[in-house]
Amino acid sequence: MYSKGLIPLAGATVVTLAAAMALVFFYAPLDADQGFVQKIFYVHVPMAIVSLCGFVAGGIMAIKYLRSRDPSWDMRSYVAIHISIILGVGVLATGAIWAKASWGHWWVWDEPVLVSFLVVVLLYCVYYPLRFSIEDRERQARYSSVFAIAAGAFVPLNFAAVRMAEAYTHPRVLSQTGGNLPGEMRLTFLVSLLAMTLLYVTLWKLELTSKHASMQLKRLKRKLAEREAVAA
């Protein structure tokens, strides 16, 4: 059931990613202050937005599980958090590269944006040992869902840190004041954000399809073993 629409979605993802890369390298102008290194913005920021939204989505799916007790919602929540953590690691890696090029340092601990995002990622890394330390499937799903919901409350703090930070050292992607992207940069950013969103959804559906197929195979093997035991 999870594989429905996966092939056209994957095709749309490839096309959109190719379009985003073309816009990044051949259409978007160089930033007046940072030059070519600013183009990492079109990967770093969309990846951060999608990762954080994925954490929130995982919490919403966890709520649905607690309300319905449908194991499929627990699996959806788990995969959403799993993909978001992978993207989160990518955000930290690209952020470090951007920081090195802009500040001359791989990390700056007094930067609230970086530190708050790191806290969110580390918080969700606790999800794995919590989940897999519980053998009972029902308790595992219930405790994991509660954690996903509680951790999701911390995600808005990352956005608040961006808005409330006064000593702002995060690299500026625009040389103009006012905070509005020029037309070419805005279009490139929006296409990059769409491409990252499609990539997230594609990976989410692909992993769900894989896990669903694996569970079906295990059930078939178990039934076959039971039949062989009865026949013997």
With 70 as the cut, is the pLDDT of residue 178 above it? no
Asked if residues 166 and 112 have their Cβ atoms less than 8 Å apart, the reply is no
**d(C-alpha 29, C-alpha 68), whole Å:** 50
State which amino acid sits at residue 194. Answer: L
Question: What value does the mean pLDDT take over residues 178-207?
Answer: 86
* DSSP strands (E only) in the chain: none
How many CB atoms lie under 10 A from the CB of residue 162?
14
pLDDT digits (tens, 9 = 90+) for 87-131: 999 999 998 888 888 778 788 777 777 888 888 899 898 988 888
Going from the C-alpha of 38 to that of each of 19, 35, 159, 172, the distances in angstroms are 18, 6, 21, 9
Q: What is the pLDDT of residue 219?
A: 74
Please state the domain extents for the chain: 6-170+183-231
**d(C-alpha 99, C-alpha 44), whole Å:** 11
Q: What is the pLDDT of residue 177?
A: 39
| Token pair recorded at residue 128 | 């794995």
**d(C-alpha 101, C-alpha 39), whole Å:** 12
Q: Is 140 helix (H, G, I), strand (E, B) or coil?
A: helix
Q: Give Cα 153 distance to the centre of its chain.
A: 16
Q: Domain spanning 6-170+183-231 has what CATH number?
A: 1.20.120
pTM score: 0.84
How many CB atoms lie under 10 A from the CB of residue 30?
11
Q: Which of 110, 101, 118 shows the shortest CA–CA distance to 40?
A: 101
With 50 as the cut, is the pLDDT of residue 195 above it? yes
In our burial notation (b when 16+ CB lie closer than 10 A, e otherwise), range 189-199 reads bebbbbbbbbb
